[in-house]
């Protein structure tokens, strides 16, 4: 992996997340999402949410169909909200 150094001399947030393993999902969850035709490029976002205490993912509604939302909630404890739904919780 290549390091990405930001202007202040610190690694980028994405690099730090990679190093800490926060962008990886358990293998069974990774496979389960792929079976639902989940976009692999969105896996790191789900993984970071999975590793946080709140397990909350804010995304556009069109990005996650109902089967994926159900899988994330039931199997991984990750709740997917639209931007407007998230703002209502603030």
Instruction: Note the pLDDT tens digit of each residue in 47-80.
Output: 989 988 999 999 876 778 899 999 999 999 999 9
Any domain includes 6: no
pLDDT at 18 over 50: yes
Any domain includes 43: yes
Any domain includes 31: yes
Determine how many CB atoms are found less than 10 A away from the CB of residue 28: 9
pLDDT (0 to 100) of residue 5: 44
CA distances for 88 relative to 13, 26, 44, 66, 85, angstroms: 27, 31, 25, 20, 5
- Number of domains into which the chain is organized: 1
Any domain includes 47: yes
- Enclosing domain of residue 40: 13-89
pLDDT (0 to 100) of residue 33: 94
Any domain includes 2: no
Look at the alpha carbons of 53, 66, 71, 16 in this order and tell me if their dihedral is positive or negative. negative
Is residue 23 within 8 A of residue 45, CB to CB? The reply is no
pLDDT at 16 over 50: no
**Residue with token string 């639902």:** 36
């Amino acid at each position: 992996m290549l390091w990405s150094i930001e202007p202040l001399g610190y690694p980028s947030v994405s690099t730090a997340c990679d190093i800490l393993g926060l962008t990886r999902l358990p293998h069974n969850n990774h496979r389960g999402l792929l079976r639902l035709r989940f976009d692999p490029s969105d896996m790191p976002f789900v993984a970071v949410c999975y590793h946080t205490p709140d397990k909350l993912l804010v995304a556009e509604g069109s990005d996650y169909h109902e089967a994926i939302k159900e899988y994330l909630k039931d199997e991984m404890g990750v709740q997917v909200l639209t931007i407007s739904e998230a703002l209502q919780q603030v």
